[in-house]
Amino acid sequence: MNELTIVRMNRYPIKGLSPEPLSTVNLLAGEGIPGDRLFGFARYNSGFDTLNPKPLEKDRFVVLLNEAGLAGLQTKFDAQNQLLEIKVGVKTHHFEMREPKGQRDAATFLYNTLGLRDPEPPVFVSSYPHRFTDVSVVSPKMMNAISVLNLASVDALSRQLNVELHPARFRANIELEGLPPFSELDSVGFTLVFGDVKLKIISRTKRCAATEVNPETAERDMRIPFLIRKHLGHMDMGVYAEVKDSGTLNVGQLGMWSQ
């Protein structure tokens, strides 16, 4: 068994926008990170129906996969009060997302700022408890999966590529230290244990072109999926885990993994 440490935790209130750092989080069995990816900006003619929500492919939304410029926006979303801040350069723009006008204004702002080529601006959507996770199209269980990143794997890939890869490229919910590099990829079925919380690894995470975007420069500067495949023979980095036992996680918390 290896001693693990939770280094960082994040949730992404609005799919594709900035992470919200978490110091502590309460998890329930079968559920994802509270407040994670419950909102999104659906592209023109996406087909998403708030009254009958069904998982859609990620490219139906405004996401880094297609819009590298998203990484250049600093956003904060107060889900309780439905207030969205978008900072571009030194200027911060505020939108009241409870109101249809605020939603339209925010969507139009993204449309213009990112130079979207769709015929019309996107639409701000939510349909609790539906989550806009990338793997929601796989199954309801995967919709609530938590993404886990082994920082040793990121470091090992960085050394192979002779560059410093920022872990934020991979937009994980939980970043860990203590696992051997890439060991998580062969550990589907294993359990991560942190106090009362048990996280069962259920899938490897196949990476897409969103990881090509440098989170610090907002430029598409490296073909990460291609390079992972070239050096490792696959396109995976990180894993998805299911919450099996409820409890509280904290940054800095120690844990272990077992079969």
Domain ranges of the chain: 3-32+137-258, 39-126
- What confidence tens digit (pLDDT) does each residue in 103-156 have? 999 999 999 999 999 999 999 999 999 999 999 888 888 899 999 999 999 999
Collapsing DSSP to helix, strand or coil, 126 comes out as strand
For the four alpha carbons of 54, 61, 232 and 184, in that order, the dihedral sign comes to: negative
Per DSSP bridges, beta strands 123-126 and 197-206 are: unpaired
**pLDDT tens by residue, 178-207:** 999 999 999 999 999 999 999 999 999 999
At 1 the pLDDT is: 58
Residue 224: predicted pLDDT: 97
pTM: 0.95
To the nearest 10 degrees (0 to 180), the angle between helices 151-161 and 224-232 is: 90
What confidence tier does 2 reach under pLDDT thresholds 50, 70, 90?
confident
For residue 52, pLDDT over 70 is answered with: yes
- Asked whether 163 and 221 are in contact (CB, 8 A), the reply is no
Indicate the average pLDDT of the chain.
Answer: 96
pLDDT value at position 140? 83
Query: Can you tell me the mean pLDDT for 78-95?
Result: 96
Q: What is the DSSP string of 177-211?
A: ESSPTTGGGG-TT-EEEETTEEEEEEEEEE--GGG
Q: Tell me whether strands 174-177 and 146-150 are parallel, antiparallel or unpaired.
A: parallel
Q: Where are the beta strands (DSSP E) in the chain?
A: 3-11, 20-22, 24-27, 39-42, 74-78, 83-88, 91-96, 123-126, 146-150, 174-177, 191-194, 197-206, 236-245, 247-250, 254-258
d(CA 143, CA 104): 27
- Bond preceding residue 129 cis, omega within 30 of 0: yes
- Residues linked to residue 146 through DSSP beta bridges, in sequence order: 241
Residue that the structure tokens 């894993």 belong to: 239
Q: What is the DSSP letter of 1?
A: -
Domain range 3-32+137-258, CATH class:
mainly beta
Alpha-carbon span 70 to 64, nearest angstrom: 6
Nearest 5°: the CA angle 225, 230, 231 is: 105
b/e sequence 106-115, b meaning 16+ C-beta within 10 Å: bbebbbebbe
> Cα–Cα distances in Å, from 78 out to 37, 44, 75, 83?
13, 25, 10, 5
> Is residue 107 within 8 Å of 153, Cβ to Cβ?
no
Rounded to 5 degrees, what are φ and ψ at 98?
Answer: -70, -25
